[in-house]
Amino acid sequence: MHPAYKLMLISWVAVAAWVAFVIFSNRKVHPKALFAMFMVELWERFSYYGMRAILVLYMTSTLLNGGFGYEDEKAFGIYAAYGALVYLTPILGGYFADKMMGFRNAIIWGSILMALGQFTLFLDDQVTFFIGLALLVVGNGFFKPNISSMIGKFYRTGDGRRDGAFTIFYMGINIGAFLTPLTCGAIGEIEGWKYGFLTAGIGMVLGLLIMIWAQKAGWLMTDVDEDGNQMDTYRPIGLIPEDHRSAGFAGINGKIMPYLATILLVGISWLLIRNDDVVDYVLAIIGGGVIIYLLVLSGKYNREQQQRIWVILLLLLFTTVFWTFFELAGSALNLFTDRNVNKNIMGAELTTTFFQAVNPLFIMIFAPIYSWMWIKLSNSGKEPAAPYKFGIGLLLLGLGFLVLTLGKGSAIGGMVPAIFLITLYLLHTLGELTLSPVGLSLVTKLAPSQIVGFLMGIWFLSSSIAHQAGKHIANFTAVNELEIVQGESFRGCFADDVLELAMQKPDFLGDLSLEQALISDEFVAELNASSPTPYYVAQLQIQEIKEKADGMKIEALREKEMNKSLVSVLTKDASLAQGVTVMPKAAVAEAVEKSSTGEVISCLKGDSLSLSLGVFRLLGFFAMGCGLLLFILGPMVTRWMHGLR
């Protein structure tokens, strides 16, 4: 069994035991509906983060490896537009739920759309690919704002169980985010990308079925009225509003309006994701408009409230910087992990997507510690004010990038030891725990009561802008194989003059990857025409995978596994050019390393490592600079908060 599958099974068993314990120990404290919502959210996050873990890897993988072969910049642009729209559509989804659909129907409709989106991605077609992403965007818009809103309906105002309920609910988010890279990610990398999407879609269907079951079982009932007061009887929650028919517009009945709007929204999302540069202008206009509007709006309030709005606006800028850098985990850092991180840990070769599980794991470990720490500091009067917490979060974020750059000194063949990447995720997680919960709480405390919801929406808008802005930073790390191969640094690394000269031709790669171009018949013939020492294409076969394939009874699976066992490289070793050479995995790795292909790839990885780490170093210093700036501004910002911390 592949080491990734062993880790997946161990994780599922451990999580299943933990979830059972949480539900059993809280079964008499909280209503059953909480645990149903917990499981629905867990599977939705399983679906979302499963797709997120493999999306950029899928797009940039070669056609032979089951991907689309997109260049890094194109993949980063699609990923950014998708992430930006995911954070924009909940505004409309919340509106439709409040006015026309009710929470229940919005959640169910969103679940259906997201499941369809994942299954559309499973079709593995470039035409339907963008439709799948659009379905996921719109489905998330209907689902995300409404399931969180339902939780609060089960608890009266001032109920001491409320915080504990949301803690359990958000545990579901992190459990789903933790399990899915180990499941969807591993299956996608090992069996084929489309099967990762299929697994994510099945997870979303499970969440949908749990929601329908909880509804039919009569669990979605509460003894709390809309104002948060205790009632003597139970009432259903999340139903269709009584005046929903009249809530439509343009002469369209409110009952069908959300479903007609879905078609329009899917079309718009499809268009924007395909033309991701347009999203830059849309968000730039929205962001600039928001800043101007808030400054004008603040003038309508007294001095105290005005300055509190200024605090929200100032910290909004810093939180956008934080999330712009943090969300590189799904794009630039994901490809960096794939190309420049040695994923062998204690003898086990882990998948790239495994590292996407590190952040949610650290959140589950450290969130309770942070909660305890803030309470202790608050009780002792030593809890830092919000601007200092933001500053600490940014310092930790920057420190994470700088720690990663230290890995270059330990890199072998352009591959950084995994411990440096894990340390980056640890520091980024600690920064997230310092900054993220504080920001949400801060808006509710500082905003004038009349515009709390509006300012909370603007706060979430920063995540949308951050995703799109991250595209431009990620592009600086994009690897253009032809540019690197023909660059000065590469020529200084490479010792084979004949091969080096042949790779300098402008059309050297054509539509092929570097590894494919090196073993093409035309290129090998060109080399041999100008070299006294002949070049060969060696076909190596990994013995362990071949033996596994030989034992398979299903022809399609056997053929797929047999293809995975074959490795073709350019070499000058004539002994390896005598047909297919079957060798143990370690011997194949050694032969590849000593081959001409191995030398080229090693130099390529070294240059791409320098490129990426140079960008990450700048990000680290910039983030730490922002953190230090907040410490300098801290006294002034704290005064503007007028007693709130």
Distance CA 421, CA 328 (A): 13
Q: Residue 490: what pLDDT?
A: 75
pLDDT tens-digit profile of 1-30? 778 888 899 999 999 998 888 888 888 878
Dig out the tokens for 154 from the structure: 């089960």
Rg (CA), the chain: 27
Which of 140-149, 285-294, 386-395 reaches the highest mean pLDDT?
386-395
Each domain of the chain, given as residue ranges in start order, spans 1-274, 482-609
The amino acid at 480: N
Average pLDDT score over residue span 264-273: 95
pLDDT tens-digit profile of 150-196? 777 777 776 667 667 777 777 788 888 999 999 999 999 888 899 99
- Helix 72-88 and helix 452-475, axial crossing angle in degrees, nearest 10: 180
115-129, 256-270, 519-533, 543-557: lowest mean pLDDT where? 543-557
Q: Residue 475: what pLDDT?
A: 92
Distance CA 253, CA 230 (A): 34
Give Cα separations from 431 to 258, 362, 392, 624 (angstroms). Answer: 38, 11, 7, 11
The values of phi and psi at residue 582, to 5°, are: -90, 125
Could you tell me the pLDDT band of residue 480, with boundaries at 50, 70 and 90?
Answer: confident
Residue 303: pLDDT over 90 = no
Pick the CATH number of 1-274 from 3.30.70.1880, 1.20.1250.20, 1.10.1740.10, 1.25.40.80: 1.20.1250.20
pLDDT tens-digit profile of 581-593? 888 888 888 888 8
The two beta strands, 566-571 and 536-542, are: antiparallel
Distance CA 97, CA 258 (A): 9
Distance CA 88, CA 2 (A): 39
Q: Which among 181, 199, 609, 187 is positioned nearest to 359, based on CA atoms?
A: 181
